[in-house]
Amino acid sequence: MKRIGITGGIATGKSTVSRMLVEKGFPVIDADVVARQVVEKGEPAMQCVADTFGEGVLHPDGTLNREALGSIVFHDKEKRNQLNAIVHPAVRKRMAQLEETHRKAGEPVVFLDIPLLFESKLTHRVEEILVVYVDEATQRERLKTRNSLTDKEAMARIRSQMSIEEKKEQADVVLDNCGTKAALQKALEAWLQQQGWM
């Protein structure tokens, strides 16, 4: 089974590509979804978060209060590292379990949607890297529109990640998303056919 990492930058259309793949019946393991699952009530990582940061990070019903936790870790690098040291191993473990399920089901390929694939140094987890690309100007405009941000706010978010040009350089496959959604779908389908998966 081939593991292909899907990544890109904020507002480049990575989630759109993942959705298109799911609609075509391909298995996609989404790191963001898994990261939310491992901190659900009753999960070992969730208990560890509560033990580390105090009951104040929980809602009265025992679920995670993301705002409260965010306000603790957002401005404190050490605390953010503490949180990552709890959540990241749990996410990797869960993703490996899901991969194994797909392997046993005989899937020829599984896609791992990992937004910070390069930043988190997880490239060793995949055999190929697919980057969903738009140039920075397009990225900025789409982010401003999508999140109702000012130019300055949008650029601050873009700058907080590794540049999309750098990611493009390290990609095995680049899907250009500067055009329409239909053009993106067409490019994705062409690549899937070329791989013999469609």
**Domain CATH for 186:** 3.40.50.300
Residue 160, pLDDT score: 85
Residue 169: predicted pLDDT: 97
First to last CA, the chain: 16
Place of tokens 């809602």: 59
Q: Are 136 and 172 in contact (CB under 8 A)?
A: no
Q: Domain check: are 141 and 85 in the same one?
A: no
Domain with 39, as residue range(s), is 34-106
Q: What is the pTM of this model?
A: 0.90
**pLDDT tens digits, one per residue of 148-167:** 999 999 998 899 889 999 99
The whole-number pLDDT of residue 30 equals: 97
Domain boundary among 84, 106, 128: 106
pLDDT of 198 reads 84
Determine contact, residues 157/10, Cβ cutoff 8 Å.
Answer: yes
How remote is the C-alpha of 186 from its chain's centroid?
A: 23
Residues lower than pLDDT 70 in the chain:
none
Is residue 184 a contact partner of residue 177, using CB atoms and an 8 Å limit? yes
User: Is 197 part of a structural domain of the chain?
Assistant: no
CA–CA separation, 107 and 188 (whole Å):
19
pLDDT at 100: 97
